[in-house]
Chains A and B, each alone.
Chain A
Amino acid sequence: MTHAATVHSLWTTAAAAPDKIPSPHIEYGQLSPTLIVIGAAIVGVLIEAGLPRRRRYAAQLFLSVVALAAAFAAVVGLAVGDYGTGKAHVAAMGAIAVDGPSLFLQGTILLVALVAVFTFAERRLDPVVHGNRVDSFAAQAAAVPGGEAEKAAVKAGFTTTEVFPLVLFAVGGMLVFPSANDLLTLFVALEVFSLPLYVLCALARRHRMLSQESAVKYFLLGAFSSAFLLFGIALLYGYAGTVGYAGIADVVDGQVRNVTPALAGTMGNDALLLIGGAMVLMGLLFKIGAVPFHMWTPDVYQGAPTPVTGFMAAATKVAAFGALLRLLYVVLPGLRWDWRPVMWGVAIVTMLGGAIVAVTQTDVKRLLAYSSIAHAGFILAGVIATTPDGISSVLFYLAAYSFVTLGAFAVVTLVRDAGGEATHLSKWAGLGRRSPLVAAVFAVFLLAFAGIPLTSGFAGKFAVFKAAADGGAGALVVVGVISSAIAAFFYIRVIVLMFFSEPRTDGPSVAVPSALTSSAIAIGVAVTLVLGVAPQYFLDLASQAGVFVR
């Protein structure tokens, strides 16, 4: 052996040892919120496969609630462990940022999802069918509406308990989306939370054709917009030679150390940067529902099952604004003289467009959809500020707004007639006389949307507009106040309709919910009032969290 080796060494020479591929270093503890939720989602799929039908509902509900609560506890643990401020850093080989904004938004998303799961699990609202209590989801989503298969499924008491793992998958994607620290992670997270939402939209028990229509619209437009996002990512990659946020920011700022000849060529090509940045922005603005890209919002919000609409309206907005903030504040701050005018325009048309079109709506869910568009405009005003206050005010607004939205859609599920939910506004006339409590609760949410003092809406709007004004966007604040006034008109109109008009004889009845929906609505009201009366603690929390890691 040794002899042979020495003989060989006469005519061979040792080559350099092949480069070892370093094994990636993953900080599992810091990624635990996401890992818990995704893990629970996979267990949920296994429950669907293994458990008998009648046991699935309880098991899925228990699993979802425990997983979301555990993930929230993990987020709080990370925040207490100073990962939000002092120890903020980039984890998972540069893919995930663990910092103040991501922890704050992850906490918000998890709480929102927890409350939303309560509304998903509600089984007291729909009338009992063949002795089975049913929820808002189709007995068997694959069955043709009104067909034999559907009747058989309803008779057998099937329910779509798959909604729970779907929500958990969506939440998993949403947790990654605002903390993604490279463009590839951003894209994958976007798809991970979008695909379950497309499916969830198609699952309504009542008005199934509407529900399927909303799903196909959401899917086609969503896939279209994510293709734009991906091409934008390709162009930014071509510009900077990397998809990492910090790397792109360095190239944009011209601070890159070792410039290869290829990079020297592409760095000078502003077309790649500007078009790429614009396309990525487009993809994010679509998810937010800002005005040129808002066309899907009303149809999808109307057609989707109402619990899904509430979850989607609240949580998607939080996640997408988080990603938008990180993109604009971490990747493209060097380009702000280019993107600020564009975002000014988008914010103005979003605020005015949402508020003006909402005035003509006659359906509660569409009304809330246009109101969510207007709110996206208000939040964009805070994004444009490009100051630390801008970040913290947006974080606060998102937390405040998401609970109001969730509560408002939960109230919509209660007002019902023979055909299911009575969403036409004319049917809400006189609701305040028949069920004063439900109408009063809805009025609180509407006042919060309108931004009346002592509600969270006022505190959020004040913070955002103040940040925008300090950041040199005074004109934007003026437009914001005008469109708030327009929006207040139709919120007040609904309140007047509920309290000061005669109830219709064929009007809807208000279903008595179980503790699940009741607690969801109660949490919504409590958060709305607490953030409105005593916002200071939460504003401080948001401003502590308002520093991105790079």
Chain B
Amino acid sequence: MSPVYYLYLAALLFTIGAAGVLIRRNAIILFMCVELMLNACNLAFVAFSRLHGNLDGQIIAFFTMVVAAAEVVVGLAIIVTVFRSRHSASVDDASLMKL
């Protein structure tokens, strides 16, 4: 099966993730959509790696996973802190700063 189909799937997943970030209002869902975008990137890397016949893309996918894990640690910590002080994870409520 041609690797090109995987690229189309990666682009589709990335678009779904990006649209989710723009449309959804819950910080956790936003964050999951960002993770979806990162995983779409991974799929693209692996597909291109197969296409070119070198291993760079597969190695990069590992790096991306580690970075995504680190991002989860920091991101969830921040979102949970905000949730505890506001009792809401909606990004629309976070509007103390005007203009």
- Chain A interface residues toward B at CB < 8 A: 141-142, 144-145, 184, 187-188, 191, 195, 198-199, 202, 208-210, 212-217, 219-220, 223-224, 227-228, 230-231, 233-235, 237-238, 241-243, 260, 262-263, 266, 298-299, 302-303, 360-361, 366
Query: B residues within 8 A CB of A299?
Result: 97
Q: Is the CB of A145 within 8 A of B71?
A: no
Query: For A191, what are the chain B residues with a Cβ–Cβ distance below 8 Å?
Result: 67, 70-71
Check B56–A242 contact: CB distance below 8 A. Answer: yes
Contact flags B33-64 to A (C-beta < 8 A → 1, else 0)? 01001101100110110011110110110011
Instruction: Name the prevailing secondary structure of the B interface residues.
Output: helix
Contact of B60 among A223, A237, A260, A302 (CB under 8 A): A237
Q: How far is the CA of A243 from the CA of B64 in the complex (A)?
A: 14
State the CA gap A361–B59 with chains docked (Å): 47
A250 CB to closest chain B CB (Å) equals: 15
Bound-state CA distance A110–B56 (Å) is: 32
User: What DSSP secondary structure best describes chain A's contact surface?
Assistant: helix
**Interface residues of B, count at CB 8 A:** 47
Pairs of residues from A and B, 7 with the lowest C-beta to C-beta distance, nearest first:
A227-B37, A238-B48, A234-B44, A241-B52, A230-B41, A213-B94, A223-B34
Q: Tell me whether A227 and B34 are in contact (CB under 8 A).
A: yes
B99 contacts A199, CB within 8 Å?
Answer: no
B16 at interface, CB cutoff 8 A:
no
B81:A202 contact, CB within 8 angstroms: yes
Residues of B contacting A237 in the complex (Cβ-Cβ under 8 angstroms): 45, 48, 56-57, 60
Among A198, A213, A227, A263, which residue has its beta carbon within 8 angstroms of that of B96? A213
Q: List 7 additional A-B contacts (Cβ < 8 Å) besides A230-B37, A302-B97.
A: A187-B63, A198-B75, A212-B82, A223-B31, A224-B18, A262-B53, A263-B52
- For residue B45, give the distance in angstroms from its CB to the closest CB of chain A: 5
- Provided the pairs A231-B37, A260-B52 are in contact, do residues A219 and B97 lie with their beta carbons within 8 angstroms? no
Chain B contacts of A263 at CB under 8 A?
Answer: 52
- Least Cβ distance of A379 to chain B in Å? 25
Determine the residue in chain A with the shortest Cβ distance to B80: A142
B40 to chain A minimum Cβ distance, whole angstroms, is 7
Query: What mask results when residues 59 to 79 of chain B are scored 1 for a CB within 8 Å of chain A, else 0?
Result: 110011001001100110111
Q: Is B67 within 8 A of A208, CB to CB?
A: no
Across the interface, A216 reaches (CB within 8 A) one of B47, B70, B91, namely: B91
In the complex, the answer to whether B86 meets A303 with C-beta atoms within 8 Å is no
